[in-house]
Amino acid sequence: MIEFVWLWAFAFFPLPFLVRWLLPSRNDQPEAALRVPFYDQLAGHSADMKRSGFKQWPFWLGVLAWLCLVTAAARPQWLGEAIELPVSGRDLMLAVDLSGSMEAEDFKVRGRTVNRLVATKWVAGQFIQRRVGDRIGLILFGRQAYLQTPLTFDRETVKTLLHEAVIGLAGKETAIGDAIGLAVKRLKDKDVSSRVLILLTDGANTAGEVDPVKAAELAAQQKLKIYTIGIGADEMIVQSFFGRQRVNPSADLDETTLKAIAEKTGGRYFRARDTEELNKIYHLLDKLEPLEKEAQTFRPTTALFFWPLAIALCLTGLLSLARLNGHTMQSEGVSHG
């Protein structure tokens, strides 16, 4: 169907007629000082053309041009069929650790050794892409916690901003409690049944003003469910002065605190030692039961104003040519006279 965005624009249609009615006509103007000897002949010729209807078509052409111009100003648009949006009603907040320990290269992506943040971007990016119908937000934390992206249906923007994150952007330390507190603040006004935080870290809380367990208790009061993911391999071989040695790159991972956070909020704790395990965790998170909401629809619109505008311009051009031709004919008649 066709809809006019500015329907009130049609109120300007009588404007030319009002102006013509209010302003004095040429007959009301003072008589010209110069009298033309053959004026009576011209007047008779003009009257003959008027009686024959020759002057009627420019008038109606002008009316049609003005109508098209007013129609274009009213912004006509075509409304398409209603399309239902896939909305699950879940609000997901991702909190990703950017502390210095995320530089440890104990993960592999497609056969290439990468650090923990690169692996997180690769797996979490696919997770974000699959969350059709969910509103997703992004928190980045190190020494401090920052809201990188508020809750939005725009998954591409969230994914892009995640991939642009760099280690140390929020400081080299880890403020897990502040990240949880920020998520509680951003989600407290949302639907109780849809508050979910997925927190990924590879260390222990070493900075911030809020204790992680206390923050989890506050999250539980606000009905915020937290899923925690401890990332990092159990062992890796490093080259040192004494040769090749096996070390535990996840020695600083505080699994006890992460489990406590998940248990207090009704969530779960996951351990990701490699990319495959991390990917499985995100696929498991995909199975969270969605909260049903009323279906949301939108109707695609296509602008149509340029069609009446183009017609108005064409008609105006024809009127200009007709007026120019009329002046030429009158000039030739005067010269013959």
What are the domain boundaries of the chain? 2-26+39-81+300-321, 85-285
Give the per-residue pLDDT at 24.
64
Please say whether the beta carbons of 215 and 315 come within 8 A.
no
pLDDT band for 336, please (50, 70, 90 cuts): low
Residues 174-185 have pLDDT tens digits of 999 999 999 999
Q: What is the pLDDT of residue 16?
A: 81
* Nearest Cα to Cα of residue 137 among 129, 145, 147, 127: 147
Q: What is the mean pLDDT of residues 116-142?
A: 88
Helices (H), the chain: 15-22, 39-51, 56-73, 116-130, 155-163, 176-187, 212-221, 255-265, 275-285, 306-336
DSSP 50-104: HHTTTTHHHHHHHHHHHHHHHHHHT-EEEE---EEE-----EEEEEEE-SGGGG-
The pLDDT of residue 264 is 94
* Chain mean pLDDT for the chain: 79
Q: pTM (2 decimals)?
A: 0.60
Residue 30, number of CB atoms within 10 A of its CB: 5
Q: Tell me, what's the pLDDT at 140?
A: 94
263: nearest Cα among 228, 291, 298: 228
Predicted local confidence at residue 149, as pLDDT: 93
- Confidence tier at 238 by pLDDT (50, 70, 90): low
In the chain, % of residues over pLDDT 70:
75
Please list, in sequence order, all residues whose beta carbon lies within 8 angstroms of the beta carbon of residue 13, skipping any fewer than 6 positions away.
Answer: 66, 67, 70
CATH superfamily of 85-285: von Willebrand factor, type A domain (3.40.50.410)
Compute and round to an integer the Cα radius of gyration of the chain: 37
pLDDT at site 332: 57
Report the pLDDT value the prediction gives residue 181, as an integer from 0 to 100: 94
CB neighbours of residue 129 within 10 Å: 12
pLDDT at residue 184, as a whole number: 93
Mean pLDDT of 275-281: 85
pLDDT band of residue 113 (cuts 50, 70, 90) is confident
Residue 37 has pLDDT above 50, yes or no: no
Tell me, what's the pLDDT at 212?
A: 93
